[in-house]
Structure 1
Amino acid sequence: MVTDDVGSDLVHIAVPVAYVRHVAALLAELDRQGGALRPPARTATRTASPELAARWTVPELRRFATGRSKSHQTVLKVLDLLAEQPGQWLSAEAICAAVDVSRHRLGGALAGVTRMLRSHPDFRDLGLPINRYVTGSLDDRAGTFYWLTAEQAHQWRQARAGPG
């Protein structure tokens, strides 16, 4: 997308030649309808793959659990909470209430620890050991939900129990 003219209300968008006729018809229809334009409802949802989060081994989780930053400690509390209720989807709001953090702090902690993992050579390809689902406009519940599978919860409890 290119915006050449400062102050112009035109935007240049590359469109495959085969679709030019359709785009022109769509624009003409929108002009006929008039009024404020509403963007289409979001239909795609993002979800963390349990396969990705499940790649963590108990020794890696043990090492991960040694993190000492405030963000890391918040994420560890979240993992402890989720491990108590395997397979149960908990909303971000429920997690915030249970671990006594603000929604902003929870988001910042998850993002900060994710950045740390991406920069670490041993954890770069793992991502957080948490499953996440962000609802779309077609879901009956709105929000972000987190959970651990039964196996993930078992591994996390083993990691928290210490070596042995």
Structure 2
Amino acid sequence: MSIQVGDSLPEVVLQRIRDGVESVDTNALFDGRKVVLFAVPGAFTPTCSEKHLPGYVQHFEEFRRKGVDVACMAVNDPFVMQAWGQSQHVPEGLMMLADGNADFTRALGLELDASGYGMGTRSRRFALYAEDGIVRLLNVEAPGEFRVSSAEQMLAELP
């Protein structure tokens, strides 16, 4: 069963690159903060690179003005996430998180079997808004769609 509104986010270690590969506990990422976390099936894939991440880059300052942090996650390694962020001109402060073994994705119950495309286990496309580690809004896309997890949709639904 997947995570639901009102649930606490599971505690898992993710990775990101700053001055090196850094392990980041999800509690440290979400506790005491308002965060929009959006997940994509894969860095450098068409919809993710042409629409999903660019929307959050474009609207990043609007989220910040609302006091909301933004994080992008994919089942990729941290070096891929760093390179993708650089290629997409991700602003400083928009967190690029690697869930390399899909541990967080599985804990959320939002995994996708993309082995038919040679991609193994990936994350479903989704966006959630959490306050202090509690899910307040969850938008999970139907397979092959990109609507409810967009930056514009999340901005429209934020309290």
What TM-score do you get using the length of structure 1 for normalisation?
Answer: 0.28
- Structure holding more helix per residue: 1
Which TM-score applies when normalising by structure 2?
Answer: 0.29
